[in-house]
């Protein structure tokens, strides 16, 4: 049975992993009859009130991500590419704020060291990497020098920042995905569009169908 690692960045689209994208990923992987394990960095990060948008406190990203994983989660430091066939990064603002600081620095962002290690290890092992929503920007920051192709949909400003990393941006609808077969990078826009959960799931499910086959 194939094994897929899923990396979360908290719980909630404004400050962590986008919940629909994360749950869609887990449901799709189970539909494809693969074994998955959830990871998150054991770091503190700012959290927001999702009603008012106001900052409320700092919380632990690993513990917040455990809400989505039903407690079945490990510290990202424990993730080794040799133990899995592929890795997936759901989106949400946490991918651009907690896994890196793309949200504030764009193409000049710094990436969490464990996140960078994981992306490089899977890439160098020629194992597929999936990313949804804003998470492809994170992958582009790490692997842009390899001229990888990714999508975040059709947001021109974000696409421009991605291309500054050396990566190529390809426009894509919410219910579809883009595959860079040479580099084994699979991306889908998800909630970069203000659209329905069904369309978000559709794009993620299509992308994971190819990722699982490629793994």
In this prediction, residue 101 carries a pLDDT of 95
Residue 62 pLDDT more than 80? Answer: yes
Query: Using CA atoms, how far apart are residues 55 and 30, in angstroms rounded to an integer?
Result: 35
HEC assignment per residue over 141-157: HHHHHHCCEECCCCCHH
**Domain boundaries defined on the chain:** 3-214
| CATH code of the domain occupying 3-214 | 3.40.50.880
Residue 177 pLDDT more than 80? Answer: yes
Query: Using CA atoms, how far apart are residues 130 and 190, in angstroms rounded to an integer?
Result: 12
In this prediction, residue 133 carries a pLDDT of 98
Q: pLDDT by residue (tens digit) across 75-88?
A: 999 999 999 999 99
- What SS3 state is found at 65? helix
Average pLDDT for residues 41-45, to the nearest whole number?
94
Residue 184 pLDDT more than 90? Answer: yes
In this prediction, residue 57 carries a pLDDT of 82
In this prediction, residue 7 carries a pLDDT of 98
In this prediction, residue 54 carries a pLDDT of 80
Q: Which residue has the higher pLDDT, 122 or 47?
A: 122
Number of Cβ atoms within 10 Å of the Cβ of 56: 12
User: Residue 100 catalytic?
Assistant: no
Under the banding of pLDDT at 50, 70 and 90, the label for residue 21 is very high
The β-bridge relationship of strands 185-188 and 178-180 is: antiparallel
Residue 48 pLDDT more than 80? Answer: no
Under the banding of pLDDT at 50, 70 and 90, the label for residue 160 is very high
Residue 51 pLDDT more than 80? Answer: yes
Q: pLDDT by residue (tens digit) across 97-136?
A: 999 999 999 999 999 999 999 999 999 999 999 999 999 9
Beta bridge partners of 38: 6, 73
Structural contact between residues 5 and 86, judged by C-beta atoms closer than 8 angstroms: yes
Q: Select which of 100, 109, 133, 172 is catalytic.
A: 133
């Amino acid at each position: 049975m194939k094994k897929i690692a899923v990396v979360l960045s908290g719980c909630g689209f404004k400050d962590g992993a986008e919940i629909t994208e994360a749950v869609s990923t887990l449901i799709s992987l189970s539909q494809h009859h693969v074994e998955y394990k959830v990871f998150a960095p054991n770091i503190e990060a700012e959290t927001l009130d999702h009603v008012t948008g106001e900052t409320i406190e700092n919380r632990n990203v690993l513990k917040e991500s455990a809400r989505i994983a039903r407690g079945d989660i490990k510290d990202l430091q424990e993730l080794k590419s040799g133990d899995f066939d592929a890795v997936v990064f759901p989106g949400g603002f946490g991918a651009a704020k907690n896994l890196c600081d793309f949200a504030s620095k764009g193409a000049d962002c710094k990436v969490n060291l464990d996140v960078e290690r994981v992306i490089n290890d899977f890439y160098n092992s020629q194992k597929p990497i999936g990313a949804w929503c804003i998470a492809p920007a994170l992958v582009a920051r790490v692997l842009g020098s390899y001229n990888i192709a990714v999508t975040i949909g059709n947001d021109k400003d974000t696409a421009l920042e991605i291309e500054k990393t050396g990566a190529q941006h390809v426009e894509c609808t919410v219910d579809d995905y883009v595959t860079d077969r040479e580099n084994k990078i699979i991306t889908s826009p998800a909630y970069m569009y203000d659209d329905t959960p069904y369309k978000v799931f559709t794009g993620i499910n299509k992308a994971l169908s190819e990722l699982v086959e490629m793994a």
